[in-house]
Amino acid sequence: MLPLSLLNAAQNKPMLVELKNGETFNGHLVNCDNFMNITLREVFQTSPDADRFWKVKECYIRGSTIKYIRVPDTLLDAVKDEQNRAREMGRSARGGNVSRGGAYPSFFLAFHFRLSPWGSSKAGVIACRVIIQKQRRL
Amino acid sequence: MDSLIPFTTSGSLVDCVDRKMMVVLRDGRKLIGVLRSYDQFANLVLEDTVERIYHADVFAERWQGLYLIRGENVVLLGEIDLDQEDEIPLRQVEWKVLEPYHKQDVATKKHRDEFKAGVLYEEKGFCKEGGEGDGY
């Protein structure tokens, strides 16, 4: 998934933002946008030399000043699971709406959807639709 | 697939995804991790990242986790050959042992570069650097 989508998915999660000047901001992500501008809450700000600290309730960071963002490692897996779950929900909704004509048993259709190697790509969806249409003609 | 190489987009990082990469940042940091994704700005998502510091024939590593790196801060990206990565002529030590030496190296280099930039500016008319932490 795209880097900015990972950031969007990290809302309400704790993270560490380091700016180009070396300052670090530890806080929970409130919101972000396509420019990587972010708002954080419950922030611990540290100066570049790590000699001064501030506690800030909310802050806004302009995306262009960010060097990198460190995010909890569990986030990538959590987001992938969410995406898979959303995809399967979408698939089962689509599969339920299609009328299955002929002697094609429903479990076989499930086979096509679940074990499709195309994943959620458009090509995969179109191919699935072709299979379903062919079954109707049987 | 090889015949399609002339038709694939150039400057694409798709061949680097899910590979172990070393990223050098503009501030001189070297991060090693698995590249998971990128976008048109070359913002990177690096998983299981380790920061590595070098000094003489010794290096040290510190585990950092999941990184989202803003593309403009990246100098270069290099693929790590998993077969050869353990055959380097350097030995590994503890981070806290090596860190002071590394910090000293960084300070010396910064001082030297600042002096050089000053001389080039005063005597030869070169511009001063942006100063945005271009320490590499």
pLDDT tens for chain B, 136 residues long, are: 555 555 555 678 999 999 999 999 999 999 999 999 999 999 999 999 999 999 999 999 999 999 999 999 999 999 999 999 999 999 999 999 999 999 999 999 999 988 998 999 888 888 876 655 566 6
Helices A122-137 and A106-114 meet at what angle, rounded to 10?
A: 160
Burial degree of B73 (CB within 10 A; 0-12, 13-18, 19+): buried
Amino acid at B8: T
Judge whether residue A23 has pLDDT over 90. Answer: yes
In the three-class reduction of DSSP (H, G, I as helix; E, B as strand; rest coil), residue A81 is classed as helix
Any idea where the domains of chain B sit in the sequence? 9-92
Question: With a CB-CB cutoff of 8 Å, which residues 20-59 of chain B face chain A?
Answer: 25, 27, 36-39, 43-45, 47-48
Whether residue B45 and residue A21 make contact (CB cut-off 8 A), yes or no, is: no
Percent of chain A scored above 90 by pLDDT? 49
From residue A118, alpha-carbon distances to A95, A112, A121, A122, B127 in Å are: 16, 10, 6, 9, 53
Q: In B, which residues are within 8 Å of A2 by CB distance? A: 37, 39
Closest approach of chain A CAs to the CA of B43, in angstroms? 6
| CB < 8 Å from B in window 31-90 of A | 36, 63, 66-73, 75-76
Mean pLDDT of A49-72: 95
Give the predicted TM-score (pTM) of the model. 0.75
Report pLDDT for B135.
61
Using CB atoms within 10 A of its CB, is residue A55 exposed (0-12), middle (13-18) or buried (19+)? Answer: exposed
Which amino acid, one-letter code, is at A43?
Answer: V
Using one digit for the tens of pLDDT, what is the confidence trace for A97-137? Answer: 655 544 444 444 444 444 444 444 444 444 444 444 444 44
Fold type of domain B9-92: SH3 type barrels. (2.30.30)
Given this model, what pLDDT does residue B132 score?
55
The ipTM, to two decimals, is 0.84
Residue ranges of domains in chain A, CATH in brackets? 3-82 (2.30.30.100)
